[in-house]
Amino acid sequence: MNPSTDDYRENTPPFWASLLLCVLVTTFMGWFRLVVFPERVFPISSGIPLLLCLWNKDLRLLYGMALAFTSFSLIKISVIAPQLDDASYENILLGSQMINIWLVAGVIHGLLNAMNRIRIKGRKLLELNQALETTNSELATLNEELAAREEEITAQNEELQSQTEELEQQSEELRQQSEEMEEQSLELQETNQELARREKGMQTLLDSGRWLRNDMNEELVMNGICQATIQVMGEGVHAVAVVEDENGKFRIRGDSGFGLNGAMLPDFGFEDSFASLVVKRGQTGYIENIASREDIELLRPAAGRPFRSVLASPIWIEGKPVAALEIYSHDIRKWSEQEFRVAEWLAAQSALTLQAIRFQRELEIKRGDAEEASIQKTRFLAAVSHDVRTPANAICLLAELIERLATDPKMNHQVPEMARSLGNNARSLIELVSDVLDLSRFDAGRMDLQLNDFSLSSLIENEVKQATPVADSRGLSLCFESDEEVWLHSDRIKLARVLSNLVGNAVKFTETGGVEVRCVRNADGGADISVIDTGIGIPEDHLPNIFDEFFQLRNPERDREKGTGLGLAICRRLLDGLGCGVSVKSLVGIGTTFTVHVPEKLIVRRTGLPGISGTPNKATAVLQKAASLTGLRILLVEDHHVTRNAMAQLLTAYGAIITETRNGREALHQISHGSHQVMLLDLNLPDIDGSEILKSLRRSKPVELECILVVSGDVRPARIEEVKRLGAADLISKPLSIDRILEALEARGIVRPSDPIDPENPSDDPDPGRTD
């Protein structure tokens, strides 16, 4: 067994000190043997320094010194001895010294092993000693416990003796109790009969629970609970009823014990009954003799004696007492505390039953609503799929046809017409998608309202003016009447959208006659906006469905020229968000009247203040004349190649100098090295978000850059506010149109309106400039 390094190093000096001392001693010995006494025998044995290792207990130093001393001897044998006269003798001495060195090293190694074994044995003996001491202490504890148990046994013996005496006394008492048991046997028989009666009552309650699971008949279950109450309460209880207040009337929810003819229909209100007092106080109560309370009415059987005493407990539902369980007796009697508890328990059972019935009914209603919603969702998705595919298919076909016609010079004259059809179908598709997204956003409760004060008459006049050209083309009259000027505090744009849809529908579905829009104050202090037409009318059975998605009359082929079928659905949601209502009246062949009901809380108490008017509708504010962009340097940042190329060509046709970039890094490079006046920036770029570009420009914007117009499909008010806060002049929603860009530039004074420009020859310079 070799000693471990850890055993050797117990109580030893630091290694560095041992190493230093051994190195010094070894150096000293080498110096003396090789330098001082090279030709003579060194008087000190080389094995003596090895004894230092008994102090440091380090085998590495022991054998290191032994190897060093051996190397000294070998050096002397190989280098110095050959020079001496008696070399062989010297070699024998050096050889004996090497033997002496390794003999001493081996002895020291053995001593270290022996010391380690002794140390290990001493440690084990110490552990055994501690174990023996622990065992001795445990034995001492056990001895003490045995002594204590002997004392306990002695005490128990004494107790057994005393118990023997007590048992003799108890035997006498048992003889006496046997006589008492005989007396109690009679009482037990009576108790058994009571238990049997109560068991029957509990069985009736269980039966009522099964009725509850089977058909949810509320009256049947309540009758079962009343029957169980009679059986549980026992003799002295003759009838039970569950009663409640139904708009001041005394209503019986369930009863039992009133005989074949049942209970007499009450000729008194709920306020005059005892149940009313119990419900109001929320506490169980009784009347020992009803004759003492002439102000209180009780339920009476249709035939037989009237009741003279009553016990009633409130039935709590959702934290409120809403009904009462009344227990009647023909006799004047007092009601015990136990009967109070039983009555309250039975009232609680009645409450649970009523709640379960109502909850189940609500579940059935909600399940039906969910199934109907699922069916409507399926129809909705089917209609959306059809209505999206129809214009998309037309767009694909028209694009293919335009491509074919462009290669045939004889058919080039048809390309403009095809392009217009392509644009119409694209706008129809975008309108449909926008309507569907609006519906989804409104149903999710996300409706941002921009509230301000505006003139309702001015708003209606604008919508009527917008629809007038269409009405004139159809030979219809379109007029507006108002009894007084009305001002609202609401979202003007959303209300304008509703009125635009209603007036547009009225004009669209009226063949002869006209459309009249009226605005009058109603009796509730609000205002009613009525759109009256002399059109085809709506059948009465279809009126409940006209606000459903994709519901259209006389459009089975789903012609997009007749609308998407989402307009009225959006109108209803917009009006709900504005806090307004809508109603419709119609006669087939006579006409239809849609009425928007504006509540009084939206009315602003002022009239025609000078200098204040409603903001014109955005649709009517679109410029009907173009503006010249000649020489205007525009940086177009758009990653979609087709969109970028089309916009560049349109803007170039109007005289602008266009620089195109397809990502954010190119845009920042062009801004820093160019002199652009206007920047059209798409927010969703492949490398850098448009918002980051705006932040960069806000920190260091070139002087020449007069206007930044952001282009995005996200037109939420929060998004518009964000880009304006970052330095953009405005946000233009996709799809882009040249008119909207011109409108935004004219609003900021970048360009000025001019006469209409022929798109085929917009300026004297047909190609003012375009760079990529």
pLDDT digits (tens, 9 = 90+) for 456-488: 888 898 888 888 888 888 888 999 988 788 899
* Residue 515: per-residue pLDDT: 92
Mean per-residue pLDDT, 256-266 = 86
Mean per-residue pLDDT, 191-207 = 59
Q: Is the pLDDT of residue 629 over 90?
A: no
Contacts of 421 (CB under 8 A, 6+ apart): 394, 398
- The model's confidence at residue 560, banded by pLDDT at 50, 70 and 90, is very low
* Residue 593: per-residue pLDDT: 92
* Residue 626: per-residue pLDDT: 43
Gap between the Cα atoms of 113 and 128, Å rounded: 22
- The model's confidence at residue 432, banded by pLDDT at 50, 70 and 90, is low
Q: Is the pLDDT of residue 737 over 80?
A: no
Contacts of 281 (CB under 8 A, 6+ apart): 314
Gap between the Cα atoms of 39 and 37, Å rounded: 6
Residue, of 678 and 378, whose pLDDT is higher: 678
- The model's confidence at residue 734, banded by pLDDT at 50, 70 and 90, is confident
Gap between the Cα atoms of 659 and 661, Å rounded: 7
- The model's confidence at residue 105, banded by pLDDT at 50, 70 and 90, is confident
Percentage of the residues of the chain whose pLDDT score is greater than 70: 77
* Residue 387: per-residue pLDDT: 56
Residue, of 206 and 110, whose pLDDT is higher: 110
- The model's confidence at residue 190, banded by pLDDT at 50, 70 and 90, is low
Q: Which range in 32-36, 72-76, 128-132, 414-418 is most confidently predicted, on average pLDDT?
A: 128-132
Strand pairing report for 309-317 and 591-598: unpaired
Question: Coil, strand, or helix at residue 320?
Answer: strand
Rounded (10°) CA dihedral 61, 63, 64, 69: 120
Nearest to 719 by CA among 445, 448, 444: 448
Task: Please give the helix or strand (H or E) that residue 316 lies within, else none.
Answer: strand 309-317
- Sheet with 678-682, side-by-side order of all strands: 730-733, 707-712, 678-682, 633-637, 657-661, 770-771
Percentage of the residues of the chain whose pLDDT score is greater than 90: 7
* Residue 719: per-residue pLDDT: 82
Q: Is the pLDDT of residue 531 over 90?
A: yes
Cis before residue 735, ω within 30 degrees of 0? yes
Stretch among 107-116, 179-188, 192-201 having the lowest mean pLDDT: 192-201
In this structure, what DSSP letter does residue 678 have? E
Mean per-residue pLDDT, 71-85 = 72
- The model's confidence at residue 7, banded by pLDDT at 50, 70 and 90, is very low
* Residue 754: per-residue pLDDT: 52
* Residue 620: per-residue pLDDT: 34
Q: How many CB atoms lie within 10 A of CB 261?
A: 10
Nearest to 637 by CA among 682, 674, 670, 604: 682
For 294, the token pair is: 């002439």
Q: Is the pLDDT of residue 597 over 60?
A: yes
Mean per-residue pLDDT, 118-146 = 88
* Residue 770: per-residue pLDDT: 44
